[in-house]
Structure 1
Amino acid sequence: MLRRKMMKERTLREIKEEYGISRRAIQGYEALGLVAPTGKTKMSYLLYDEKMVERIREIRFYQNAGFQVKQIKELIDAPADVKKNALCDKRKELMRKIEELTRLLERMKKIIEEQ
């Protein structure tokens, strides 16, 4: 008889420590319906399976890229082409910001050198 390989579940504390995500952030994701615990330990600690952990990582990626939680909620389960378009748009936006910051830094350097 084949046994189903069980996915390793992690506690909130393990996820928090491994990925540097606050307990409050994960609870916020839960409140918005973005993630949900997949079980509990005997001590009633919430557990998250690998699928939920991957989803948390994906949410953090979008946040770090500058997406708002409302946008992430729309993107997280969107088809690949929708995600791709959103990421392309965000990439263009970030490239423009980099160019603006580079010009600003160059101007600062010039002013500093003139002082």
Structure 2
Amino acid sequence: MSYSVRQVASWAAVTVRTLHHYDRTGLLTPSTRTRAGYRLYDEADLARLQQILFYRELGFPLEEIAAILRDPQANALDHLRARQRQLSEEIARLQRLSEVAERAIEVQQTGVTLTPQERFEVFGEIGFDLSYATERQLKWADSQGQRESMARAAAYSKEDWRRIMGEAAEWRERLLAAFDAGEPSDGDAVMDLAEEHRQHISRSFTHCPPAMHLRLADEFAADPRAFALVVPPSQQRPGLADWLAKAVHANAARHDSPEDER
């Protein structure tokens, strides 16, 4: 059975012009033609076209495909191995580009306009997980607090960040000492630490009333990516995130108490 060039083009999802080009270059010459000169392809032609399209999908140039098809037993395996090496190198290159793009996106999502080296110097183990930063940006995009926080973060210099992170590290050291000492989460000392954290956010990023602090604390307890912004994984202890969340809740309740309104 024979098939017209339009039928073959339709089935193979290529253009008629492509099939004409394959014919002109000798890559795929139809077995027969009509008396009027129209190309007709048989089953063997279709099988050869399938091979051509397979190699094209792998990125082989037409000249190399022609060489393979001239002697498939002698050439195909070597060519495929070489192409596999090329593809592996290309995948590695694209992965590096993807990582560069990810870091650029991360800067945009977190609002931190430092170079990767400066970020490592200043933040150390404290990391901005891209997925969490992106989700948070999408979730709170219309929030005045989020907009203010992003604007202030973008304006900070390396020295500003060094100061902010130094304050956070000193607070974290006292927080871990209190947890390791078995201080109750609703004790005055730990509630004072929770209040310091709230004031740090207000001073450095955006006004953080107790209700907002509660939401943040609940995220710390529910999402390890969020808690890693406060305590890096290497310094975390089992139960620490829940303990801090309870301290924040206790501190918020203390602020709601009439005798604390001063």
Question: Which runs of 5 or more structure 1 residues have no equivalent in the other structure?
Answer: 1-7
Percent identity between the aligned chains? 28
Counterpart in the other structure of 2:11: 18
Q: Distance in 1 between matches of 2:73 and 2:33?
A: 32
| 1:96 corresponds to 2:86 | no
Residues 67 and 75, structure 2, Cα contact 8 Å, conserved in 1: no
Post-superposition Cα deviations, 1:34-77, rounded to whole Å, max 9, x if no partner, equal 22222345776421001101111211221221111111111112
Q: What is the alpha-carbon distance in structure 2 between the residues aligned to residue 110 and residue 31 of structure 1? A: 48
In structure 2, the residue matched to 1:111 is 104
2:73 to 80, 91, 101: 80
Distance in 1 between the 2:81 and 2:18 partners?
26
Q: Which residue of 2 aligns with 1:5?
A: none
User: What's 2:157 paired with?
Assistant: none
2:44 equivalent in structure 1: 51
The Cα of 1:100 is off from its aligned counterpart by 1.0
User: In the alignment, what sits opposite 1:35?
Assistant: 28
User: Structure 1 CA distance, aligned partners of 2:34 and 2:21?
Assistant: 21
Structure 1, 71-80 or 22-31: larger mean CA deviation: 71-80
SS in 2 for 1:47: strand
Matched, 1:67 2:60: yes
Equivalent residue for 2:2? 9
101-110 or 42-51, which deviates more: 42-51
Alpha-carbon RMSD across the aligned residues, in angstroms, is: 1.8
Distance, in Å, in 2 between the alignment partners of 1:85 and 1:44 is 38
The alignment partner of 1:90 has SS state of helix
The amino acid of 1:98's aligned partner reads: I
TM-score (norm 1): 0.83
Larger RCO (CA within 8 A; separation ≥ 6)? 1
Write the distance in 2 (CA, Å) between the matches of 1:37 and 1:101.
Answer: 39
Single out whichever of 19-28 and 76-85 deviates more from structure 2: 76-85
Following TM superposition, by how much is the alpha carbon of 1:103 offset from its aligned partner in structure 2, in angstroms? Answer: 1.6
Q: Distance in 2 between matches of 1:30 and 1:41?
A: 15
Q: In the alignment, residue 95 of structure 2 is paired with which amino acid?
A: T
SS of the counterpart of 2:26?
A: coil
More helix by share: 2
Cα distance in structure 2, aligned partners of 1:91 and 1:68: 14
Aligned position for 1:3: none
Q: CA deviation at 1:91?
A: 0.8
